[in-house]
Structures are given as C-alpha cells and as structure tokens.
Amino acid sequence: MFAKVSSLGLFGLNAFPVDVEIDISRGNPQFEVVGLPDTVVKESRERIRAALRSCSISFPVASVMINLAPADTKKSGSVHDMAIFMAILRGMRMISEDLEGCSFIGEISLNGDIRRINGVLPMVMLARELGIKSVFVPADNAKEASVIDGVDIYAVNNAEELIRHFRNEELLTPCEHYTPPEAAYNETLDFADVRGQQSAKKALEIAAAGGHNALLIGSPGSGKSMLAKRMPSILPPLTFEEALETTKIHSISGLLTPETPIITKRPFRSPHHTISSAGLAGGGSIPHPGEVSLAHNGLLFLDELAEFDRKTLEILRQPLEDRKVTIARASGTITYPCTIMLIGAMNPCPCGYYGHPKRKCICPKNKVAGYLSKISGPLLDRFDLHIEVAPVEFGDLSSKSKEESSAEIRKRVMAARAIQEERFKGTGIACNALITPDKLQELCPMDDAAETLMKNVFDRLGLSARAYDRILKVSRTIADIDGSEVIRKQHVAEAAQFRSLDRKYWAE
C-alpha cells in the first residue's frame, strides 16, 4: 500500500517542500527511512513507534519503507515526525480522509504529544506560496504560524487529536489569523537619565535617524554603555515586512516563544566580548545565524570593542558592507541577511584615561597603540560616526534641569525617517545608510558651499572613497533632521566633525 503526505523542510532560511512517501508491503518486518535523513530523522522511527503505542495502535507487522522526497536533499531535525506518523496511518488505512492540500510539521514525543519546532514561520510562508491550504503545526508554534494570512493553521497538541480529526470524530478548527499589536515604547531606559553629553546624544540621534554605525570612545564611567543601551528607545518601529524578515531568523534559531510569536521591535543584541567568530557571524556544521543576523533590521552593540578577539571583529568587515553573511558547507551554501546598525563602545587605552582632560594615562605608549590597533583601519572606516564621550562635568551631574526625554528625541528621528520613506519610495532602500553608490549623487545633492567644504575635508583628512560616501550619507541625515532638501555647508561640517576621532587616537 502506497501513500504520500506533504511536509516541509528547512535549509538555512529557505524552506523546501518534502513529500513523505510510504510503502507498506509484506515481507520481513522492518521500518526503514531513506532520502538523505540525518540521525534525528532516523530516530523518528523510535518516537513514532512509541507514539502509535500510546494511541493504542500497533505498528504494522510488515516491511515499512519511508522515502523523504526529493531524495537528494539532506533532511534534518524532527520536523517530519508528524508527516511520517500521518503517512503510516494512511498506509495502514486507519484514516480515510484525503490529505491533499494538507501539510504537516512537528516533532512527536514518545507519549504522542506534539512538540514545538524551530523555523515554522519560513515553512508556513512557503506553504502559502505553494498553494497548500492547511498546515498542521504544534500548538506551541500556532501563533507564530498564524501571522501568515491565506493558510489555514491547525494547532495540534497530541497525536490523538490528529487521529480524531482525520476520522471526522472531533474536528479541529483553524486558528484565527494573528495580527501582532503595534510595538509600544515601554523602555525603562530613557535618555533623560543621561546628564549632559549633548554632543554624544546628538550623534546617536543622527545614527538612529539614518541607520548609521557609530563608535563611542571615552574614559571609564563616562556613560558610553549607558548611552548605547538607551538606543532602543529612539529607534523607529519595524515595518511589517522587516518584522517578518527578522522573525524568520529568530524562528529558525528557536528564539520565539508563544508570548512573542513575532518580533515587533528592532532587535538590540549585545554579545559579550568573549564571543567566538561562529557566534558572531554564524557557523556550525548546519550553519546557524550569528549575532549579526539576529540583529537584522536592528542594532548590534559591541561593548568593550577592543576586548573582542581581533580576528572575530575582522569577520564583520564583509557582512557590514554586503549586509549578508554567506556560509559555505559541504551540504550547501547558506546566506543570512544582516542589515544592521553597529554601535561600538571602547576605552582609548588599557587604563582608560588616554586623552582625558584631567587624569594622566599610565599606559606605556606602545600599549596604547597596541590597544587601539585591535580596531583595524578598515573596520574603523566602517563607523560613520566617531563619538568622543567626554567625562561628565560636575555641573551637569548636579544640575536640577531636566534632560530631554527619549520620546522627544524619537519625534525628530521619526520625522527624519518619514522624509526618507517618501524619498526612497519604490527603490527598496530603507534609510540613508543604505543608499547604493549609483544613487548617491542623485539623492544627496549639495549646494556649492557644501561641495567646497567637502573637497577641503576630503583633502585635509585624507579620506577613503568609502569615508567620503559615508560622510555624504550622514550629511544627508543631518539635513533631513534639519528639514532641508539640499545638503548645506553646516550639515557637511557636522558630519565631518564626527569623523575626526581616528586622527586624534589612531594617527600616532
């Protein structure tokens, strides 16, 4: 007896259709799974045998052959358990219902419970593309799946429910479509807590408004970490498309919970400096996304930047330019997107006081150079804004005046983003930092004075072509915050001023 049941598989972020074919024939009792299954898939035999027993169904005394088609694509994980289970029931004629248009994804446990799996979102998105009408998913994954419109999602708690549904004894009802609520800004960390530091705050506002990378340098206790941790309170909300893209990555990494089935806020990832290259950029035998990809459409904050392994940091160079990480393995090549804002924070030397206006640095000169050289020239070049976080003045700390709140800063950020949205309509560009080189001249017009200043800055600072592009984009953002269509001299001046720290610290 032959039967076929549809399932879905996952390779990186890409889902693919899998047909679970079963042939039950007379012969030596055996249970074989073929079609390039990995160990986890092979072990599904034992889980399914036990699950059938728990439903008081005895395993057929026959030769049971399961083929996972297409046979030349590697199948991994426990995602096909539910489909194999259904195929056996069909093969044994235990259920009569035609399974056309239905797909099954989920792990089965020994007692017949259906357990949550990773990567449901991209698989359901593919199901919709393929015109599959109904997808049966673990109940724990149901909310995540029902974000996708146009497919009936059935939440399954255990194998018994499945059997009763397909025997028309007790029908499951499709889940309601889930529309995520608009993300609220209920951050506990607010820029109002940071006293003084006007220049650093302005720079971070520019970074948030245009999606630029920023590097904070300053002595210990000057408030670098404090400032960076308040960035989520001024970042613009995710669009629905961005939310889906980001959620896909979190879905395959198993980071979603029934309470947060979809990521609605820009991610803020701040890995510790002991992180490995694979942890930061992605890797493993079945390559998983790294922190850069988990921060996709959001912010990656690397605190104590100079303490990271130099090689690990260098790995970021290519992803920061291409906005994707490609990992090649024998089983194939996987690409994960990583459109991120990178914020770094560091001290200028091991003791932390190099360049401090009042305290003397006690580090030997070569130690300072060695410390700073952990950030290579090319990596430094990728930071659009270099922010010097000066020690807080006593007057600022003791002042009774109120500091500007995140809500007020956010208003200006949103206004600048609205201008960008209008400008980039239909181009696929999300913010100024993502302007492609071919559109740079057209989208960043400068008046004559601005152009003259830019030329001077370029010659004087000995800028690279990349730095020129980046200063122009930052000028674009400053002009947007200012509500100016044309980039003027003062905008270029402000942008260039945030590019000068490398000369103070790295030039010697």
Residue 412 binds what, of Mg ion, ligand ATP, none (CB under 5 to 8 Å, by partner type)? none
Contact flag: residue 220 with ligand ATP (CB under 6 A): yes
Nearer to ligand ATP, 295 or 305 (CB): 305
Closest approach, Cβ 425 to Mg ion, in A, equals: 40
Residues 192-251 that bind Mg ion (CB under 5 A): 225
Give the pair of three-digit tokens for residue 307: 């303490």
Residue 218 near ligand ATP by CB under 6 A: yes
Residue 391 binds to ligand ATP (criterion: CB under 6 A) = no
DSSP label of 447: -
Closest approach of Mg ion to the CB of residue 193, in Å: 15
Q: Side by side, which strands form the sheet with 268-269?
A: 268-269, 299-303, 341-346, 214-218, 385-389
* 206 burial via Cβ count (<10 Å: 0-12, 13-18, 19+): buried
- Cβ distance 280 to 312 under 8 Å? yes
Give the separation between CA 115 and CA 106, rounded to whole angstroms. Answer: 6
Are the beta carbons of 42 and 60 closer than 8 angstroms? no
The size of the chain, in residues, is 508
Smallest gap, in angstroms, from Cβ of residue 303 to ligand ATP?
A: 7
- Residue 392 lies near ligand ATP (rule: CB under 6 A): yes
Quickly count: other Cβ atoms within 10 Å of residue 171's Cβ.
11
Count the alpha carbons within 13 Å of 305 in the hemisphere toward its beta carbon: 30
Query: Which of 55, 69, 189, 226 touches ligand ATP by CB under 6 A?
Result: 226
Please list the helix, strand and coil fractions of the chain in percent, rounded to the nearest 5, in that order.
40, 20, 40
Taking CB under 6 A as the binding criterion, the range among 216-224, 236-244, 439-447, 494-502 that sits at the site for ligand ATP is 216-224
Q: Is 347 in the site for ligand ATP (CB under 6 A)?
A: yes
- Residue 282's binding partner among Mg ion, ligand ATP, none (Cβ under 5 to 8 angstroms by kind) is none
Q: Which does 347 bind (CB under 5 to 8 A by kind): Mg ion, ligand ATP, none?
A: ligand ATP
Which residues, in sequence order, are bridge partners of residue 158? Answer: 113
Of these partners, ligand ATP, Mg ion, none, which one is at the site of residue 392 (CB under 5 to 8 Å by kind)?
ligand ATP
Identify the DSSP state of 487. Answer: B
> Shortest approach of ligand ATP to residue 274 CB, angstroms?
16
Q: Which residue is nearest to ligand ATP (CB)?
A: 223
226 interface partner picked from ligand ATP, Mg ion, none, CB below 5 to 8 A per type: ligand ATP
Of 247 and 347, nearer to ligand ATP (C-beta) is: 347
Judged by CB under 6 A, the chain residues 179 through 208 that form the site for ligand ATP are: 194-197
Helix ranges (H only) for 217-264 are 224-229, 240-252
Query: Cα–Cα–Cα angle for 262, 253, 313, nearest 5°?
Result: 110
Ramachandran sector of residue 497 (left: φ over 0; alpha: ψ -120 to 50; beta: rest) = alpha
Report in angstroms how near the CB of residue 383 gets to ligand ATP at its nearest.
17
Token couple for 216: 């904070």
Give the nearer residue to ligand ATP in terms of CB position, either 167 or 273: 273
One residue of 54, 157, 225, 326 binding ligand ATP per CB under 6 A: 225
- Kindly report the backbone phi and psi dihedral angles of residue 48, in degrees, each rounded to the nearest multiple of 5, phi listed first: -70, -40
CA 208-292-183 angle, to 5 degrees, is 50
Rounded least distance, CB 360 to ligand ATP, Å = 17
| Closest distance of CB 202 from ligand ATP, Å | 14
Per partner kind, with CB cut-offs from 5 to 8 A, the member of Mg ion, ligand ATP, none near residue 197 is ligand ATP
Give the footprint of ligand ATP on this chain (CB under 6 A): 194-197, 218, 220-226, 347, 352, 392
